[in-house]
Amino acid sequence: MIKLYYVISRQVSLKAYFFLFIILHSAIELKGSTGELDLYGNPRKYIRIMDKESAYKEYKRCGTRIIKVNIPGSSTYFSPACQKI
């Protein structure tokens, strides 16, 4: 298993926090991700752009292959061209 550690600047940290807030707020507003139902059987409306279905496929926005990275307890997916570390 490869472990990745990065030291990021305060500016990058604040930018990541800002976009994390936007994404989480959107997901909550739309009551969760599509493909799942709420307690009352209603479909959830947040559409994930990258997930396990899109891993290693071409990202429509830039044509780069989507990368999957395992993190403790979860996985994350990103475009190495658009989302540089």
Which residues on neighbouring strands pair with residue 68, listed in sequence order?
77
Contact flag: residue 49 with Zn ion (CB under 5 A): no
Query: Exactly one of 12, 23, 62, 69 binds Zn ion (CB under 5 A); which one?
Result: 62
What single letter denotes the amino acid at residue 20?
L
Residue nearest to Zn ion (CB): 79
Contact flag: residue 54 with Zn ion (CB under 5 A): no
Distance in angstroms (rounded) separating the CA atoms of residues 69 and 47: 20
Which residues on neighbouring strands pair with residue 37, listed in sequence order?
43
Query: Exactly one of 44, 46, 54, 64 binds Zn ion (CB under 5 A); which one?
Result: 64
Contact flag: residue 79 with Zn ion (CB under 5 A): yes
Contact flag: residue 81 with Zn ion (CB under 5 A): yes
Cβ(54)–Cβ(66) under 8 Å? Answer: yes
User: Which residue number, 40 or 56, has a Cβ lying nearer to Zn ion?
Assistant: 56
Cβ(59)–Cβ(68) under 8 Å? Answer: no
Residues lying near Zn ion in the complex (CB under 5 A): 59, 62, 64, 79, 81-82
